[in-house]
Structure 1
Amino acid sequence: MTRKNLVGTALAVLTTGLVLAGCGSGGHDRGAPSGTTSAAGVSAAPSGEHNDADIAFARGMIPHHQGALEMAALAQGRTSDTKVLDLASRIEEAQDPEIKTMTEWLRDWGAEAHGTDTPGTHHGSDKTGMGAAEMEALEQAKDAEFDRLFLGMMIRHHQGAIDMANTELRQGANADAKQLAQRIIDSQQAEITEMQGLLPAG
């Protein structure tokens, strides 16, 4: 009888130990995902973090890029210079996807892209950064005259984008926005050098 009681007691202790061990293990397992989620949240924070400068950068650069696309679209049918046509095509290929990216950022940040088409906001009287008379002259120009006007206007336009991108690098908080700003600086500075080489002498 005593032996039976001892065996029963031993089994009870063993069972209790297993249950406690199971609870301890389960508690640990439940804690692991929580820790993983926390770590993932921290690592994702730089991408999601943004400030007013990031919003201003996207809101300003979207219409600025749209202005570049409007100017680039005028090249077809107005010049036969293959280098100018190639440059205009590359500007369109680079800046159109960037507009889409920045538009998505503003949506994700809960910041509507309102005000981006407001005349006089960026470097001139409209979103191209040029006056109405300059844009009309560009539309009417052909061949060498078009090339001269187009290159001169686009150089100024690119410099405006670089200035905006530098402001983002100094004041922005979002890692993706700052990376785009640096890419704009690098690519558009290279295009400015290219366009300066294409400008006719004098």
Structure 2
Amino acid sequence: MKTEALQWLGRFGIEPFDQSLWKQALTHGSYGPDEPDYERLEFLGDRVLGIAIADWLYQRNTGPEGTLSQRLNALVSRATCARVARRIGLPPHIRMGKQAREDGGAESDNILGDVMEALLGASFVERGFEPTRDWVRTIWAPEVEGKAGTAKHPKSALQEWAAGNRRRMPEYEVVDRSGPDHSSQFTVRVSVANVGEAQATASSKQEAETAAAKEFMERYG
């Protein structure tokens, strides 16, 4: 691993024993055909993050099951993982091909979220659950202490608004997709018959739908 990456991990009290494991967590598929990438560690880290956040919310006793689930979904979302990754200075340490970096891959929510989860996977493999849980509690603290997930999800809010106003259910449509596969941008339009429409662009279809629903509610709700 590069000295800069080791020093960066050291800021969190992490001293990699198996450097190849952590290097893999930082490696995007575009880096090279002979380099193992982060995907398997991301799969593991996603589950580790989920149980770490669920345990934290349970201990904080912040509400009934429905409220806890709403907060959990927001706190482990791709957008939140990417936001945490940016805040802790992850982007420059991601290993990716020259073209992918020039295309903005190091700032893609999809890639940042995946690598953040892969690092948690590497931490779990090498250090176990408790140190990884403690790391999550350190770097996710602003999100947990903030309002992430305290408001109703925009798509749910829009659906309930439509039902309450005796309108047809919202319809979502992808109207544009641009950029390379590793850094795609989706534009989604949401419409409610006889009311209006709104659209938004994000790095995944799901996030674009959420943003479009939020825009619709701000405009018509």
Give TM-score, length-normalised by structure 2. Answer: 0.27
Q: Which has the higher helix share?
A: 1
